[in-house]
């Protein structure tokens, strides 16, 4: 299990305990532990055998260390199992409805034994909610609509899908006279790998309170709307065709910064920021940072003004996860995060020689268009028959074609010869070492047998990185976002051995992968791993999607110095594991 599984089990236990009426202090202790499990770079599964190691984690006490050990040993928690036996697993799904918290769920259980979304929907249709506290006609209708929305669009959406929708809607909004600026907020602005919805903040003369009627009607006429959720004085909510919920807020320029800060989040970051504001005699909300004593606004127009008034540097949105950024900003010690413009090369891409759709020359020209100084062509090896992978003979011929294109580019861009070689089930590679020896870039990746146990997969990957010709470990956990979970792997053990050997860890920037994730990237840096970011493009048009991966590097607080391909060609090659 990964750390997020530990965090989810603790958070679910806290919710169930609150519904059951447990002591609030005990509930808070589980929530604090869940947050600690989510944020720590310590591999909880590996650390479970050492109580002292668990106690070193901020937010984990002796009692909670025992809970973590129970999860590691059994995959669950006795408290959670007992409460689920009492109430049923449907209670956890009820908590996923918009605006539904443990107190409301407890109300439904106590009053009507409602323990699932289906039972809630039946109770609404039968009129059994009328008369319950806080359950007027408007609230019941809101619940009905929430159930419909959840059933239709319960999932999350990849960052590129949400980003593309944000671009389309923003372009539409900016065509309206009086809307001058549109900024995405929420998960998209923070660069999270997936998002549950899309928040767009718009400002300009048309967004002044009491003068927004025309702008609201214009937003509501967006041709991409699938169904309307709500339309108010300054907010329009709707679903687009694929089920993504979009909330467009029209805001006056004077409070735009406060709203942008508030709706960007994260929730944990905002809670800590509000606590800091209170200690300084201020109150902070989506309208302004204001004095507590008389409500006088202190800052509201820009985020920079708000953070400055709180004695802090402005911080990039990707950092706002309550992972120490507030303290760093207060001490002017924020790192200079990597930017897309720092990337000088891309060394993982495929051509028509295997499963790509562009030629070597087309990929080289696309690399030039991205401003790169070098690329590497790394087609698949023979084990992946479905991708027309290269055997030894074809690989050697392919090397010669790559060399020819490199010469033809006349120094405008370097084109390195490489391969994405398959890691077989036992950890062996599926091309002979004498072929790998002739390539500048050898990326080893797992593409099959994902069902292996944690021990088997870890031994398999460790054997692969021991091969002296492997210079980069590709998409190290094998996940496909919203489609396939990471395979079982002792990531810490792999990262430590890779650091010892000088094997670089890839962050695969393909938006369907984004692998390693931000947490594992932080751990890789802590362990001294070399890191390379690649697009894994199969089409020349996809090289430009590297930015989605850069945002994950920024979420991990990585700087240009932490990533090898921010260096020129020769320095990059020298930074990789030396070839035999």
Pairing of strands 282-284, 289-291: antiparallel
pLDDT in tens, 555-580: 999 999 999 999 999 999 999 999 88
Tokens 């260390």 correspond to what residue?
A: 65
pLDDT tens sequence for the chain (580 residues): 678 788 889 999 999 999 999 988 899 999 989 988 887 888 898 899 999 999 999 889 999 999 999 999 998 899 999 999 888 888 888 887 877 889 888 888 888 888 888 888 888 887 888 778 877 888 888 888 878 766 654 568 899 999 999 999 999 999 999 999 999 999 999 999 999 999 999 999 999 999 999 999 999 999 989 889 999 999 999 999 778 899 999 999 999 999 999 999 999 999 999 999 999 999 999 999 999 999 999 999 999 999 999 999 999 999 999 999 999 999 999 999 999 999 999 999 999 999 998 999 999 999 999 999 999 999 999 998 778 899 999 999 999 999 999 999 999 999 999 999 999 999 999 999 999 999 999 999 999 999 899 999 999 999 999 999 999 999 999 998 877 789 999 999 999 999 999 999 999 999 999 999 999 999 999 999 999 999 999 989 889 889 999 999 999 999 999 999 999 999 999 999 998 8
Last residue of some domain: 211, 233, 251?
Answer: 251
Query: In this structure, are 145 and 187 located in the same domain?
Result: no
Last residue of some domain: 330, 350, 377?
Answer: 330
| DSSP SS3 for 422 | strand
The closest alpha carbon to 163, from 265, 244, 250, belongs to: 244
Measured from the Cβ of residue 288, the count of other Cβ atoms closer than 10 Å reads 22
- Quick check: is 140 in a domain? yes
Query: In this structure, are 305 and 347 located in the same domain?
Result: no
- Quick check: is 507 in a domain? yes
Query: In this structure, are 182 and 125 located in the same domain?
Result: no
pLDDT in tens, 59-79: 899 999 999 999 999 988 999
- pTM for this predicted structure: 0.81
Say which CATH number the domain at 285 has.
3.30.210.10
The 8 Å CB, 24+ separation contacts for 308-312 are 309/282, 310/273, 310/276, 310/277, 310/280, 310/282, 311/280
Query: In this structure, are 241 and 106 located in the same domain?
Result: no
Q: Do the beta carbons of residue 568 and residue 344 sit within 8 Å?
A: yes
- Quick check: is 288 in a domain? yes
Helix (H) or strand (E) holding 153: none
Say which CATH number the domain at 56 has.
1.10.150.110
For 209-235, give one letter per residue: b (16+ CB within 10 A) or e.
eeebeebbebbeebeebeeebeeeebb
Q: Which domain holds residue 239?
A: 157-251
Query: In this structure, are 391 and 531 located in the same domain?
Result: yes
Query: In this structure, are 246 and 287 located in the same domain?
Result: no
Query: In this structure, are 270 and 172 located in the same domain?
Result: no
Query: In this structure, are 357 and 499 located in the same domain?
Result: yes
Query: In this structure, are 520 and 560 located in the same domain?
Result: yes
Query: In this structure, are 350 and 244 located in the same domain?
Result: no
Q: For residue 183, give the DSSP letter.
A: E
Q: Say if residue 266 is preceded by a cis peptide, omega within 30 of 0.
A: yes
Distance CA 445, CA 455 (A): 17
Say which CATH number the domain at 214 has.
3.30.460.10
Domain count along the chain: 4
Helix (H) or strand (E) holding 458: helix 454-466
Q: Do the beta carbons of residue 347 and residue 353 sit within 8 Å?
A: no
Pairing of strands 245-251, 235-240: antiparallel
Query: In this structure, are 128 and 9 located in the same domain?
Result: yes
Q: For residue 480, give the DSSP letter.
A: B
Tokens describing residue 462: 């460790």
The closest alpha carbon to 29, from 20, 38, 17, 41, belongs to: 17
Query: In this structure, are 193 and 316 located in the same domain?
Result: no
- Quick check: is 80 in a domain? yes
Last residue of some domain: 267, 295, 330?
Answer: 330
């Amino acid at each position: 299990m990964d750390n997020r599984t530990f965090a989810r089990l603790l958070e679910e236990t806290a919710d169930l305990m609150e519904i059951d009426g447990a002591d609030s202090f005990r509930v808070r202790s589980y929530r604090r532990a869940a947050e600690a499990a989510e944020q720590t770079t310590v591999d909880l599964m590996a650390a479970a055998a050492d109580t002292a190691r668990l106690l070193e984690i901020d937010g984990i006490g002796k009692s909670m260390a025992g809970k973590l050990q129970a999860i590691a040993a059994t995959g669950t928690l006795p408290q959670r199992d007992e409460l689920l036996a009492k109430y049923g697993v449907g209670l956890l799904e009820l908590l996923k409805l918009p605006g539904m918290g443990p107190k409301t769920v407890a109300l439904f259980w106590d009053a009507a034994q409602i323990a699932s979304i289906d039972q809630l929907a039946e109770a609404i249709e039968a009129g059994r909610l009328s008369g319950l506290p806080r359950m007027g006609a408007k609230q019941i209708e809101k619940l009905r609509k929430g159930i419909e929305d959840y059933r239709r669009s319960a999932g999350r959406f990849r960052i590129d899908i949400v980003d593309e929708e944000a671009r389309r809607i923003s372009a539409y909004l900016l065509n309206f006279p009086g809307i001058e600026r549109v900024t995405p907020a929420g998960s998209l602005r923070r660069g999270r790998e997936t998002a549950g919805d899309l928040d767009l903040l718009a400002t300009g003369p048309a967004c002044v309170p009491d003068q927004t009627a025309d702008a609201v009607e214009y937003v509501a006429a967006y041709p991409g709307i699938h169904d309307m959720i709500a339309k108010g004085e300054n907010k329009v909510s709707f679903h687009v065709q694929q089920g993504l919920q979009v909330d467009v807020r029209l805001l006056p320029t004077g409070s735009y910064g406060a709203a942008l800060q508030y709706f960007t989040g994260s929730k944990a970051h905002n809670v800590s920021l509000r606590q800091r504001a209170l200690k300084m005699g201020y109150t902070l909300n989506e309208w302004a940072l204001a004095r507590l004593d008389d409500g006088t606004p202190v800052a509201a127009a820009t985020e920079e003004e708000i953070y400055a008034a709180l004695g802090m540097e402005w911080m990039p949105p990707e950092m706002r996860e309550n992972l120490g950024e507030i303290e760093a900003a207060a001490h002017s010690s924020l790192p200079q995060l990597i930017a897309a413009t720092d990337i000088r090369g891309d060394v993982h891409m495929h051509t028509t020689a295997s499963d790509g759709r562009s030629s070597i020359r087309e990929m080289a020209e696309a690399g030039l268009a991205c401003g790169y100084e070098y690329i590497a062509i790394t087609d698949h090896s023979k084990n992946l028959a479905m991708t027309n992978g290269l055997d030894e003979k074809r690989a050697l011929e392919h090397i010669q074609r790559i060399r020819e294109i490199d010469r033809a580019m006349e120094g405008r861009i370097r084109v390195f010869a490489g391969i994405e070689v398959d890691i077989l089930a036992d950890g062996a590679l599926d091309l002979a070492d004498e072929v790998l020896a002739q390539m500048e870039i050898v990326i080893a990746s797992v593409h099959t047998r994902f069902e292996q146990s944690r021990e088997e997969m870890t031994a398999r990957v460790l054997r692969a990185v021991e091969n002296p010709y492997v210079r980069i470990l590709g998409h190290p956990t094998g996940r496909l976002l919203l489609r396939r979970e990471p395979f079982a792997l002792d990531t810490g053990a792999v990262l430590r051995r890779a650091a010892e050997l000088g094997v670089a860890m890839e962050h695969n920037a393909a938006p369907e992968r984004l692998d390693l994730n931000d947490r594992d990237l932080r751990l890789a840096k802590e362990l001294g791993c070399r890191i390379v970011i690649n697009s894994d493009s199969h089409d020349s048009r996809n090289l430009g999607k590297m930015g989605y991966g850069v945002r994950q590097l920024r979420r991990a607080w990585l700087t240009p110095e932490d990533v090898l391909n921010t260096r020129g060609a020769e320095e990059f090659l020298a930074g990789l594991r030396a070839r035999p």
